[in-house]
């Protein structure tokens, strides 16, 4: 793939992240029937890492984390740290990546959701002395993990299709130039 095709893919992926951030933080809270919202940035970050590798996962993790750090108060870098870890960790599984294989992305979605929620619990609640993990797990973690896993079924396929189209356009341009 040429440099311009890679740049185009990076810009499209950043556009996906900004769109997901906007929907997650501006649209989902307005829907009163949702008990929990799916974590779209988590889905995109682990998808980028899983499909494109560790470096891409960490890069998009930094972007997703910075957006959340700028939007929410608290220590700067709090969300960036977990998203970089998630991008890196899922980049390890790139060697097991197959386009039609949805089982591993679903397993990764559940594992990442659990990891993310435990990170939030430990550093936002446990440190403050709120020790009721079963309540937090049943009322907050489990609904978010389930919604995120179900949303992964839809978003992962959409993202995969868009990613492949951009790669195909880059490959076609490479063959027409030669």
Per-residue pLDDT of the chain in tens (178 residues, 90 and over written 9)? 677 778 888 898 899 999 999 999 988 888 877 778 889 999 999 988 988 899 999 999 999 999 999 998 788 999 999 999 999 999 998 888 776 778 888 999 999 999 999 999 999 888 888 888 899 999 989 999 999 999 998 888 888 888 788 777 767 766 655 5
Cβ atoms 17, 126 nearer than 8 A: no
**For residues 96 and 51, what is the distance between their CA atoms, to the nearest angstrom?**
9
Q: Which of 4, 34, 47 is nearest to 158 (CA)?
A: 47
Cβ atoms 87, 49 nearer than 8 A: yes
Cβ atoms 40, 156 nearer than 8 A: no
3-class secondary structure for the chain?
CCHHHHHHHHHHHHHHHHHHHHHHHHHHHHCCCCCCCCCHHHHHHHHHHHHHCHHHHHHHHHHHHHHHHHHCCCCCCHHHHHHHHHHHHHHHHHHHCCCCCCHHHHHHHHHHHHHHHHHHHHHHHHHHCCCCHHHHHHHHHHHHHHHHHHHHHHHHHHHHHHHHHHHHHHHHHHHHHC
Looking at 1.10.1760.20, 1.10.3720.10, 3.30.110.70, 3.40.50.2300, the CATH number of the domain 3-177 comes to 1.10.1760.20
Is 0.85 topped by the overall pTM? Answer: yes
For residue 67, give every residue at least 6 positions away whose Cβ sits within 8 Å of its Cβ, in sequence order, or none: 17, 18, 21, 41
- Structure-block tokens of residue 71: 């939007």
């Amino acid at each position: 793939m040429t440099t311009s095709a890679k740049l185009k893919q990076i810009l499209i992926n950043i556009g996906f992240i900004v769109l997901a951030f906007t929907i997650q933080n501006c649209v989902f809270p307005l829907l009163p029937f949702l008990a929990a919202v799916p974590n779209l940035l988590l889905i995109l970050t682990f998808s980028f890492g899983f499909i494109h590798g560790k470096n891409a996962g960490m890069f998009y993790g930094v972007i997703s984390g910075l957006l959340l750090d700028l939007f929410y108060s608290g220590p700067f870098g709090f969300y960036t740290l977990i998203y970089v870890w998630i991008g890196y960790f899922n980049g390890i599984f790139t060697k097991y990546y197959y386009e039609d294989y949805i089982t591993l992305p679903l397993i990764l979605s559940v594992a990442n959701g659990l990891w993310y929620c435990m990170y939030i619990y430990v550093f936002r609640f446990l440190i403050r002395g709120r020790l009721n993990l079963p309540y937090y797990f049943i009322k907050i973690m489990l609904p978010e993990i389930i919604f995120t896993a179900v949303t992964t079924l839809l978003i992962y396929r959409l993202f995969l299709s868009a990613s492949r189209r951009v790669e195909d356009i880059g490959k076609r341009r490479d063959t027409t130039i030669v």
